[in-house]
Amino acid sequence: MTKREYAQEIADIINGEVTEIRKNNGVIKTGIQRKEEGSNVSAIIYVDDMYDEGFDIDEAAEKIDELLKENSHPDLSVEVDDLTNYESMKGKLTLQLFNERKNIYDVKKSAKEYGFDDLIIVPVVVLGRTANGTTGFKVTNEMLKKWGVSAEQVFADAEAQISQDDYTIVSMAKIMAEMMGIDVENIPDNGMMVVTNREKCNGAYGVIALREQLRQRFPDGYIVIPSSIHECIVHPLIDTVDVDSWVNEVNDSCVDDTEVLGHKAYRIM
């Protein structure tokens, strides 16, 4: 049974629809969506992992049905006229970081001026938030034409409304202590910090949004490890010959292909 056939059988059971989406880094995912009453925006739950792990169809259908209910947002409904009205969408703009070599986005700008020579900044419209992330879309040239604005204007408006309060800098020691359920004093603090947004979703742009705070914390410079599109790890600047190899090892073993951000560490002085 192909993945598409597998997804279709699940969709038939839970009254959903199969869709294939090109995700970050060019990865194609097979998902199921279901229109909710009172909303014209649908959550999508992907079946790829369940298919690869050999989940029984009935078991997978039950799980996906549960996830669709958890991620439904019946209060969110977006009118087509609003989508094509820049003033309606401007307040929903944000910026996100992606890998330049693995993505073809027509509205983007290089993050090289901030020290990330192979990353790009992409404007995104966030329509709403769910239990497992956000719902929205990346800005395209087609949207710019409909809005009647330039890419430069979109970037300026997005950056102007991004608040430092949207992002966090938390010590790795604190995160580990919370995960292990112990006092943070019992975890060695090596100065490593995690930078992400409040939702911990697509928050890697925090290393740019909070760059002044990071400079104050690390006056002698720091290393940015692109752990995923959701977060970055920041470490005091040291001689780290093998960090790039470590980044690639983590990407290969621990990070979903759609969430890989970079393939090397960045040294910010």
Domain locations in the chain as residue ranges: 3-70, 80-162, 165-268
Q: How many residues does the chain have?
A: 269
CA neighbor of 247 nearest in space, from 266, 230, 229, 227: 227
Please check the confidence at residue 63 and state whether its pLDDT lies above 90: yes
CA neighbor of 237 nearest in space, from 190, 203, 269, 195: 269
Q: Give per-residue pLDDT as tens, 220-263.
A: 999 999 999 999 999 988 765 577 887 888 777 788 889 999 98
Apex 84 CA angle, 131 and 151, nearest 5: 90
Q: Give per-residue pLDDT as tens, 8-49.
A: 999 999 999 999 988 889 899 999 988 766 555 677 899 999
Contact criterion met (CB below 8 Å) for 52 and 45: no
**3-state SS track over 26-75:** HCEEEEEECCCCCCCCCCEEECHHHHHCCCCHHHHHHHHHHHHHHCCCCC
pLDDT score, position 245: 81
